Chains A and B, each alone.
Chain A
Amino acid sequence: MRFKSINLIVTITLLFSSCLDLDIPNPNDPTTETVLSDPGNLTSITSGILNGVFGPYSPSSFYGVNSSLEWTADHTTMTNNVLSWWSIFKTEPRQQLTNSISWPNKASMLEPWNQWNGTVVNANTVIRTLEENEDLTDELTGLLAANYFARGMALGYIGNVFDKGYIVPLSGDPAYVPVLVPYADVVEEALSNLERAIELFDEVPDFVLPDELLNGLGYTSEEMAALCHTYYAHILVSSARNATQNAATDWAKIKEHAQAGIDLDFIIDADGSNITHAFQYGSGIFWYFRVDHRVMRHFNPNLPKRFPDNATAPTSPYTEAFLKGAGYTGDKRLDAYFLFEPDLSFYNPARDAGRLRSHYRIKRYDALFEAQGIGASVFMYKYANQLLLAEAEAMTNNLTAAIAILNDPANPRKAVGDLPSLATTLTKQEVLDLIFAERDIELGRTDFGLPFFDMRRKSALQRGTLLHLPVPADELVTQGFPVYTFGGVDSADGVNTADGSNSWLN
């Protein structure tokens, strides 16, 4: 009996010992190897890569640096301090950015940094995989082009938003040691990628962007190539950090690409998860993002640059009637795009409210707001391309052509604004000022940081405003690089921090 028991025990023990399989595959996520092993996955992978380009527009990054940059460019105003909007990006004099691993709002910098760099590495992987195949189908060539487009866009954003960036080589060399290179090199790499994308799209004229990509955008090869041209021009223009650099921009190249640029608005159907343009749909909150007086003065220069620096004003003198009174340009876009909100009570007097008040907000995207951000979201107007072309014409001293674009009845200045045609006798500076006014009125809250880039390249930012973001502290610390930052009147060198030489407030 005793030995039977022992046998039973031993048997049960061995049974238990041998029945547990401890090698459990992960049932939730694939590995890189399994994903890449099936060419059928490349479309889905490319979808994720393109979504990564536009990921930093999403609310997951609390509207991102995108909105911060528009604040500091004095396109948007309020005394709200989410993401240090007020305290770092808006207070006067401008403050130094706190680039620290403790900074509460570090995610707003870190998320775009990570997403765009991730996009570059992802695109590298797909490009390598595709380029190993010498006989690509049209569909795969189109995908290859889309990945070059994504890589170019991501590098373009990095180069224009940050002062340095990585250029992770396409080769996927495991021995690559991350090295931060100046933004100009990053932009150059971005532009070469867009050129390559254009070449590839041109090779496959029958290619149509699959429905999985960019939420069913469905662009043809030709339309994608045009988009690449527009972004080429836009990224190159936006890379100038000051007026001197702007003047030195290769405007002939800008003109060349803008001429081949988009003829339709670049609109993605935001879905609330893959792609969302949070800053754009947030415009619909009636008490939130207001439009700075700098922009509203394009409708009536009599509007002061700031409210009287007196928080005690019993009531705002700058009512709707004021803006439409003496000095009003007659631009009907005032009503078409903007909404007068009488309530200013949310502005905190102790936070520069005297200067930071504005009655106006953008109403163009109210429908998007009411749909909780789900629906057609504009990332680049075709008019932006027209304005790039006009600016290139002006910068290459072809003022007549530039004015002709502004006078084009199909363009919003006349089609919506109902403004009279401009005289052909305008000076270059007058034409440029009008172009920038158009950009201020039309393009805010579309492409990432666009009004900021415009102000930067005019040297029009207030003294002490950072001209680009430092590499996020978390990345620097991870790599063992020294942490640094920009901004603040003490650091106004005109290279990394605005010296205010042409500040719009001067």
Chain B
Amino acid sequence: MGSVFAFAQSKVSGRVTSADDGSALPGVNVLVKGTTSGAVTDTDGRYELQVDKPDAVLLFSFIGFVSEEIAVAGRTTLDVSLKQDITQLSEIVITGVAEGTSTKKIGFAIGKIGEKLLAEVPAVDAGNALRGKVSGVQIIQQSGTQGTAASIRLRGATTISNEVNQEPLIIIDGIITPPGSSSLADINMNDVESIEVVKGAAGAALYGSLAGNGVVQIITKRGSKLNNATTFTFRSEAGISQMQRFMKINQSHNYQLDGNGQIALDGSGNPLNDPNTIIDNPWPLRYNHQKELFENRGFYSNYFSMASNSGNTSYFTSVDQLSQGGVIEGLRAFERSNIRLNVDHRVNEKFNVSISSLYTSSNGPAVASEGEQTGIVYEVLRLSPTANIRDVNFDGQPYITTNIGKVFNIGRNSNNPLYRAYNDKNTVDRDRILGNFAARYDIASWWKVDGQISYDRSTRKRNRFLDKKYLNINSSEATPYSNSSIFKENVLNTAKVYSFTNTFSKAFGKLSTALSLRYQAEDYLYEELEVSSVSNLVVDGIDQTENIPTDAIRSTSLTEIFRAQNYFANLRLDYDSKYIVEGLIRRDESSLFGANNRTRTFYRVSGAYRLSQDIAIPGVQEFKLRASYGTSGQRPPFNAQYERVPLVNGSYLLGTGTKGNPDLKPSTISEFETGINVDFLKRFSFEFTYAQATADDQILLVPLSATTGYANQWQNAGSVESKTFEWSLNTKIADKQKLKWDVGIVGSTTRSMVTKLNRSEFGYEGGGVGSASFFRIKEGERIGAIYGGVIASSLSELTVGENGFVNNLESVTDRPLSDFTINRDGFVILNGTEFTPAERTYNIVDATSRARVEQKIGDSTPDFIFGINNTISYNRLSLYVLVDAQIGGDIANVNKQNMMFNEIATEVDQAGYPEGQRKHGEYFSILSNSGAAPNQFFIEDGTFTTLREVSLSYTFSKDVLSKIGKVGSAFKDARLSLTGRNLLTFTNYSGWTPEVAATGGTDGVNFNPFNFRADYGAVPIFRTYAVSLQLRF
């Protein structure tokens, strides 16, 4: 008996790891066989339990791994290595859940991209890495400006306002980053081990008011996976970037030609117009300005990492340097340098600490290279085709810009984009430190305490310098230099987040339980200081504010401090790995909420039933039903709650400010999500999810009548409802020893509608001078609806008044219906006017008020998005292909409307038509203008399919390498890859690329490239070809 009692007190502990890569396995059930006592491993894979017999047998089971039974045999430490069950692949995720959990046991959809898939083609940024790999995730690279990260949208729109963050919460190794802090462009994808995506509000409930748009967590590599080893990786990639395609433009003009085929000029050197206004004469000399401006430019990246594990201490460190030249000649390259250090240390059996840190420094061009006149890209289309943009200016400066538009009326007020690219020194320099310190202490086998402190500090310096001798189109020899200016902006952004978690977990027979309690505090600071000049500088070449005359210096500054503290409790019940129920409640307190509403509660209830564990279904290895309902939210912008009287240059602008709102609440996104996960035929894995979300208490800036003494007020003034269907299918088409072929297909469709709007309907601008607020926000309308004028295109659209005359066409009141016909382009015109200067199109107007009719003419939201990724390997040769597509969704082609008005669009080119069937310039002028208002002629289908990534790799084994001598034998392996990105886009869209979002404009529609697709002078995305070599040793 004595010995039995002695054993009754015996404790067994150990660590469970994956046999594949040595990584810790959290959540493993450890059961004393034949009893109901057991334990669950923690996030470090550790467990501890009591056994009462010396011959006790421990049963280790974990989804996706082959279960093991191991006798204790008197040992007190028992480390176990579990092998993966290839028929039940499962992954552990840490995002959206209180602690590391198998995806098999989660009641909501969560996407994860593992290291293997990420390593096939290291993406340029984390956003692009998600393309075509996780359903319900939409990625838009809305600008090809080097250094610009892709935008991410998870499921539908949750926010109407352009001033409330639209992007998901970005977490990097547990570090919560401030909204809009350009997190993704800072991360080197070679460092990334996995990316986890929580798409919906229910899944993101854990993050409360931070995560109404979902969560993306980037998890970087660590040394802890290694077993007493040190590894080194060197990777170098170099290549070129080039335009995917050039835009077709008009090849003709309407000037007279002399006998030599040259443009006929008057005595002053000005061109003579053709006796007609038909644009059908060939240019005697024609430069292709697109090919001149967009050049093939180089890029490279060099990366080195070292990882080591020497028992209790492991680390991963890396350095990299990236240079991306983009495709525009003269623009500064984007350059980034990163240093990373991740350290894990096991102080003792109970106490572990880990540190994650990143320093990144980058510089590159500011995105102000977009838009009309002030930009580069649209300007290249507007230049006179005869203008040699490499000519010199009157003062000898290269790249003629002064008066470049003088050569014929086309592009009269264009700048030379090359001159601007070289001389408009507009740059952004960023530095960022990300740090996270985490510690875990095991108070008992069932009670663990975690503490975490993270710090994110970034600075951004924007500098724009137009030197004293900066020229523009209006410069002349008489007044050569009157355009100089300096603009300097310094921004500091810091985020400090502290969290403290207690986790209680215990197994009661087949019932595993886990209770987590967390307190989290957030402290943010944003500071901005701008100094600029409002008139010319004093001397040439000095980019300092001392160069600004005293009375021409302007300065503004801004400080934003905001804090939050949050509490949550999460209870998880898992019965026999079949029935999983989870409940979460979180209370947020934030200084961003109005003073009368400082607290908000969010919650989630989710459940999963692994049907296949109860019922054997032939050919089905896993069948899980899941459902969840939960809430998360969006915080108001800093200034939203305050009454603000603008203080400008020392004057109070009383009555023009924002009325305070102490009752302002965060928006609340409530989501119901349900779906299934099925693994079948041992090679297929299918997931389907339906999600319905309602985003209430929309935070909107509501205009107030000028009579109130305030311009506007932030209010909770609307609701948006979204419905999403998403699915994915992963399969191993081949899994032989030599031939392996993995295919992943993802697809989704989402619709978002404004169901309530407690303010007047309004429009968001498409961007730029002359564009319109055609994205209409109104109750009962989809987000993305485009409103505009309608050009009469059928005689049946015409109405006739009592006087017998057509009464609903603009500018016509005295014509019977019989006077109208349909022209070649399908528009209503007056009989007999086709191919004459009098030919014109007509907008439909209201028959009574004669005001132009406005109606819905398009919808930007795609009907369906999907992606297919393929990885085929044969022996050591591997081919990776990624295709992604958007089906449906309209684009407001503002570029095209402006181009037609400026006689650049291909439609105005009449040279290809027979004599007598050519249209006059007046026709296109009216068609494209329509009061400069949007009309349906310029709404195009934005469907596209892109061959996004192709990579062909060969891995040289150690055996092969050793044949090239001592140097070769030092390497474990070497991987040589040829990679192409953004290779081809298949689309009927007429612009450079259908991946667009308008930039500029007072409404700044570029906040939402998913619902508001307008093409206006954005730098197009480019393709790259690269060769890379990776050495591991």
Contacts and interface: CB of A to CB of B under 8 A. Distances in A.
Given A349-B921, A350-B920, A5 B706 contact: no
Contact of B931 (A87, A273, A370, A478): A87
Which of A31, A311, A488 has most chain B Cβ within 10 Å?
A311
Nearest to A42: B652
Contact of B534 (A5, A36, A350, A372): A372
Given A28-B639, A114-B706, A349-B273, A212 B934 contact: no
Interface string A61-76: 0100000000000000
Nearest to A45: B652
Contacts of A274: 648-649, 651
A41 B645 CA distance: 13
Contacts of B646: 29
B709 A122 contact: yes
Given A13-B500, A22-B598, A102 B776 contact: yes
A28 B644 contact: yes
A171 interface: no
A81 interface: yes
Interface string B628-657: 000000000001001111111111111111
A118 B591 contact: no
A344 B708 CA distance: 48
A178 B710 CA distance: 14
Interface in B508-544: 519, 521, 523, 534-536
Contacts of A125: 654-655, 709
A120 B479 CA distance: 41
Contacts of B810: 95-96
B983 interface: no
B558 interface: yes
B394 interface: no
A297 B643 CA distance: 54
A477 interface: yes
Nearest to A287: B412
A315 interface: yes
Nearest to B518: A13
Interface in A257-281: 271-274
A342 B476 CA distance: 15
A356 to B, nearest CB: 13
Given A102-B776, A272-B552, A489 B811 contact: yes
A106 B273 CA distance: 34
A182 interface: no
Interface stretch (B226-234, B610-618, B845-853): B845-853
Contacts, number: 314
Given A29-B657, A121-B706, 6 more contacts: A16-B498, A22-B565, A26-B644, A48-B648, A101-B762, A271-B551
Interface string B17-58: 000000000000000000000000000000000000000000
Interface of B: 254, 266-268, 270-277, 405-406, 408-409, 412-413, 441, 443-444, 449, 451, 474, 476, 479, 482-483, 498, 500, 502, 519, 521, 523, 534-536, 551-552, 554, 558-565, 589-591, 595, 598, 639, 642-657, 660, 703-709, 711, 759-763, 765, 769-774, 776, 787-788, 810-811, 813, 845, 849-852, 854, 901, 903, 920-922, 924-925, 929-934, 1002
B652 A44 contact: yes
B482 A101 contact: no
A103 B770 CA distance: 9
Given A28-B639, A44-B651, A371-B482, A122 B656 contact: yes
Interface string A15-28: 01101111110111
A347 to B, nearest CB: 7
Nearest to A47: B651
Those 9 A-B pairs whose CB atoms lie nearest each other, nearest first: A350-B921, A117-B706, A272-B534, A104-B772, A122-B655, A315-B266, A29-B644, A48-B651, A346-B412
A218 B649 CA distance: 19
Contacts of B811: 93, 95, 488-490
Secondary structure dominating the interface of A? loop
Contacts of A118: 653, 655-656, 706, 709, 711
Contacts of B787: 102
Contacts of A348: 409, 903, 921, 925
A318 interface: no
B552 A168 contact: no
B926 to A, nearest CB: 9
Contacts of B654: 32, 35-36, 45, 48-49, 122, 125-126
Contact of A121 (B412, B536, B655, B929): B655
Interface in A73-127: 80-82, 84, 87-88, 93, 95-96, 98-107, 113-115, 117-122, 124-126
A345 B271 contact: yes
Contact of A272 (B413, B535, B648): B535
A85 to B, nearest CB: 10
A12 B932 contact: no
Contacts of A80: 413
A32 to B, nearest CB: 6
A475 interface: yes
A174 to B, nearest CB: 10
A349 to B, nearest CB: 5
Contacts of A84: 931-932
B706 A475 contact: yes
Contacts of B552: 272, 374
A350 B852 contact: no
Contacts of A45: 651-652, 654
Nearest to B407: A345
A465 interface: no
A241 B590 CA distance: 56
Given A102-B763, A349-B277, A349-B921, A315 B644 contact: no
27 contacts: A2-B443, A12-B451, A19-B521, A20-B523, A22-B564, A28-B647, A29-B645, A32-B643, A45-B654, A47-B652, A48-B651, A84-B932, A98-B851, A98-B933, A101-B762, A102-B763, A103-B933, A118-B709, A122-B656, A271-B551, A273-B534, A274-B649, A287-B474, A314-B266, A346-B412, A350-B921, A474-B703
